[in-house]
Amino acid sequence: MKYQREIEAEIDVAGMLTFISQSLDCETFAALNPGRPSPLSTRQSVDLVTTRGKNSRQKSPPLTMKIQGKSSVEIYGDEMDLREIIRKENLDAQEEALYVCDLSDIVNKYYIWRECLPRVVPFYAVKCNDNPFVLKLLAALGTGFDCASKGEIKKILSMGVDAEKIIFANPAKPNSHVLYAAAKGIATMTFDSDFELYKIAKTFPDANLVIRIRCDAEKAQCPLGQKFGCDAELEAPGLISLAKELGLKVIGVSFHVGSGCEDFPVYERAICAAKTLFKYAKTLGYDFNLLDLGGGFPGDKGTSLKEVADIINKALDKYMPDSAIHIIAEPGRFFVSSAFTLICKIYSKREIVQNDKLEKTMYFINDGVYGSFNCILYDHRLAAPTYITRADNTLYNSSIWGPTCDALDQICETVKLPKLNIGDYLIFENMGAYTLPIASPFNGFPLPRVKFFMRASDETANNIF
């Protein structure tokens, strides 16, 4: 670690809004808000990335981003040294686990997205990780936001983000949430049932509606089709017709193939189905101009966006070649999964011995399934611990347990580890998605702290923070 920068915060909302609004091009604004004048119509749109070599990017425009309160962002060189972080943060004397968040990783993901999916505007899924640093960084970079509730909308609006940069992507919304969206000018929202259409007709008849269809991946970490999305052939045409009868505006189609998708060709199938509905809507007098690709994009270390991006780009060229059709998506884990690493401390252990032979060692750490590792239960994730290298790396059967009194608080049932001691640390990578937002301090155990870092050479992050 080279040095530490202290940031005394003052909110400069006007400056932040200028950059955020510039990052949404006029045409995308028009797609999300038909009939409303674009605030960018008299300003030049900013393109963060036009050309990018192997080790070069276009110089980032000036960004204004302030964080409330007094915060610290640690600056590192080429690599983060976890040993040094443990020492500097004095984790030996701390009860809670520690998240290490690499803000530069999020910035890099943004550039990768722009390079791989140039037609697709990302609307970050707030539910995935709603840490204020993450949200403000993404807002300054120019992403929109996928919100699923009044609470999430409030959080994004409180940062000064324009209402036009939010899609209310929840097909089943409480009345009060629809009314709140209407009051705040959040016009674009999804639906997948006749009941939702009748509700919106009463509460927000001027909404810009997007019909959500079901197109499930054959393999996904979290399938969603059982709960959301109408059948594209059997139900969607009737719902679009009903919307027309009710005098509602439908502007496009959305789908979600499932979070953590591993069946990338499903995107082509979904885009093809959407094209059929675009054609059908035209027979009713609608002129659809928005396609929402949903989420499902990989974000762990070692994964690549290129394979799925190639499939999507070819499908868009084939089925949606018209540049007047605006394409958005709702990536969540893509942006944040690899940016967060969790450092946990072993505070107790137990050896299971049978016939004078060590069968298994149980390790108890200061985070568990009621905390960050809820992702094991709710995100269907497998925890993969690593450890600080030891002189003797002979591996033994081990299990890892969380701190609560619940016997279900098990992180790893069987894992190979060297002999570790109380006070040693286990490292868990790719912990940025669907972890902290769902965690609870059950049994009185504190939630992990989050420490933020950025690369010294990262001009974009340095300009923001």
d(CA 54, CA 47): 19
Confidence check: pLDDT of 252 > 50: yes
41-89 pLDDT, tens digit per residue, is 322 222 222 222 333 333 343 333 444 433 578 888 888 899 999 999 9
**Which residues have a catalytic role annotated?**
405
Q: What is the pLDDT of residue 41?
A: 33
DSSP-derived 3-state class of residue 181 = helix
Residue 176 lies in a domain: yes
Q: Which residues contact 433 (CB under 8 A, 6 or more apart)?
A: 128, 129, 299, 332, 333, 336, 337, 375, 379
Here the CATH number for the domain that contains residue 409 is 2.40.37.10
pLDDT score recorded for residue 44: 27
pLDDT (0 to 100) of residue 379: 62
Same-domain pairing of 288 and 350: no
User: Mean pLDDT lowest for which of 180-184, 263-267, 455-459?
Assistant: 263-267
In the chain the first and final C-alpha atoms are separated, in Å, by: 17
- Report the predicted TM-score, pTM, of the whole model to 2 decimal places: 0.83
Residues 135 and 195 in one domain: yes
Q: Rounded to an integer, what distance in angstroms lies between the CA atom of residue 74 and that of residue 83?
A: 15
pLDDT digits (tens, 9 = 90+) for 312-334: 999 999 999 999 999 999 999 99
Can you tell me the distance from the alpha carbon of 115 to that of 142, in angstroms, rounded to the nearest whole number?
A: 14
As a whole number, the mean pLDDT across the chain is 83
Both structure tokens of 11: 């909110």
Q: Which two tokens stand for residue 217?
A: 């991946």
Amino acid 72: pLDDT: 74
Q: Are residues 246 and 307 located together in one domain of the fold?
A: yes
Q: How far apart are CA 227 and CA 44, in angstroms?
A: 42
Same structural domain, 107 and 199 = yes
Residue 248, domain member (yes or no): yes
The number of distinct structural domains making up the chain is 2
Q: Is the dihedral of CA 55, 60, 64, 65 positive or negative?
A: negative
Is residue 128 in some structural domain? Answer: yes
Whether the predicted pLDDT of 398 surpasses 50: yes
Tell me whether strands 70-76 and 425-428 are parallel, antiparallel or unpaired: unpaired
In this model, does residue 20 exceed pLDDT 90?
no
Q: Enumerate residues 6+ apart whose C-beta is below 8 A from 6.
A: 70, 72
Q: How many CB atoms lie within 10 A of CB 428?
A: 24
Q: For residues 133 and 253, state if they share a domain.
A: yes
Residue 353 has pLDDT above 50, yes or no: yes
**SS3 call for 351:** strand
Least confident of 33-42, 273-282, 426-435: 33-42
Residue 6: pLDDT band with limits 50, 70, 90: very low
Q: Please state whether beta strands 208-213 and 249-255 pair in parallel, antiparallel, or not at all (unpaired).
A: parallel
Q: According to the model, what pLDDT value does residue 262 have?
A: 57
Verify that 284 and 430 share a domain, yes or no: no
Is 67 domain-assigned? no
* For residues 122-144, average pLDDT: 96
Q: 354 versus 259: which is more confidently predicted?
A: 354
Domain of 283 in residue numbering reads as: 103-336
Residue 37 clears pLDDT 90, i.e. is over it: no
pLDDT of residue 226: 61
Tell me, what's the pLDDT at 14?
Answer: 36
| 312 and 354 together in one domain | no
pLDDT, position 425: 96
Confidence of residue 31 (pLDDT cuts 50, 70, 90): low
The CATH number assigned to the domain holding 203 equals 3.20.20.10
Of these ranges, 60-74, 126-140, 385-399, the one predicted with the greatest mean pLDDT is 126-140
If asked whether residues 350 and 315 sit together in one domain, one would say: no
Assess whether 293 and 378 both reside in one domain: no
Residues 320 and 376 reside in one and the same domain? no
| 426: in domain | yes
- Could you tell me if residue 45 is inside a domain? no
For residue 217, what pLDDT is reported? 54
Q: Are residues 321 and 342 in the same domain?
A: no
pLDDT at 461: 74
Q: How confident is the model at residue 391 (pLDDT cuts 50, 70, 90)?
A: low
Most confident of 78-82, 88-92, 378-382, 398-402: 398-402
Q: Is 252 within a domain?
A: yes
Last residue of a domain, one of 336, 353, 386: 336
- Please indicate, yes or no, whether residues 327 and 350 belong to a single structural domain of this protein: no
Q: What is the pLDDT of residues 203-246, one digit of tens each?
A: 999 999 999 998 775 455 555 446 678 999 999 999 999 999 99
Phi, psi torsion values for 127, nearest 5 degrees: -60, -25
pLDDT of residue 178: 98
Over 404-436, what HEC string results?
A: CCCCCCEEEEEEEECCCCCCCEEEECCCCCCCH
Give me the pLDDT at residue 460, please. 80
Q: What is the DSSP letter of 6?
A: E
